[in-house]
């Protein structure tokens, strides 16, 4: 369900093709697209490049923390060091981002 939600929210974003919670997130573009979907004023997505992984992670995690009050559970250094991130870490972060959006009323759940 969470993977489908991520796909739906990032559909149409260049350089993003979410197939899993690991390699699909390795260049930071999927994180940026997901955050940008909810906070388009936070940064200019068109200025990002899949080759600039460090900047992508910094932009996404910082914007999520600032605008969604989502704690930065993932370390930029770790993300850059790994060729493919640990799917459990990515899943946990996305789950927390989703929870923060629900708290802010930006995502509706069956309960809300």
CA angle at residue 39 from 36 to 40, to 5 degrees?
65
* Fold entry, domain 2-103: Actin-binding Protein, T-fimbrin; domain 1 (1.10.418)
Domain boundaries, the chain: 2-103
Q: pLDDT tens digits for 62-112?
A: 999 999 999 999 999 999 999 999 999 999 999 999 999 999 999 987 765
Burial of 93 (0-12, 13-18, 19+ CB in 10 A): buried
Q: Give buried/exposed letters for 44-75 (b at 16+ CB in 10 A, else e).
A: ebeebeeeebebbbbbbbebbbebbebeebbe
Burial of 83 (0-12, 13-18, 19+ CB in 10 A): exposed
Q: pLDDT tens digits for 8-64?
A: 999 999 999 999 999 999 999 999 999 999 999 999 999 999 999 999 999 999 999
* pTM of the model as a whole: 0.95
pLDDT for the residue numbered 108: 86
């Amino acid at each position: 369900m969470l993977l489908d939600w991520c796909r739906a929210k990032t559909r149409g974003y260049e350089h993003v093709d979410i197939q899993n919670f690991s390699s699909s997130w390795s260049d930071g573009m999927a994180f940026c697209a997901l955050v940008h979907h909810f906070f388009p004023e936070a940064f200019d997505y068109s200025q990002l490049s899949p080759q600039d992984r460090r900047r992508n992670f910094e932009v996404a995690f910082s914007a999520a923390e600032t605008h969604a009050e989502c704690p930065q559970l993932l370390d930029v250094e770790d993300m850059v060091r790994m060729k493919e991130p640990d799917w459990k870490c990515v899943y946990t972060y996305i789950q927390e981002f989703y929870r923060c959006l629900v708290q802010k009323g930006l995502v509706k759940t069956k309960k809300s």
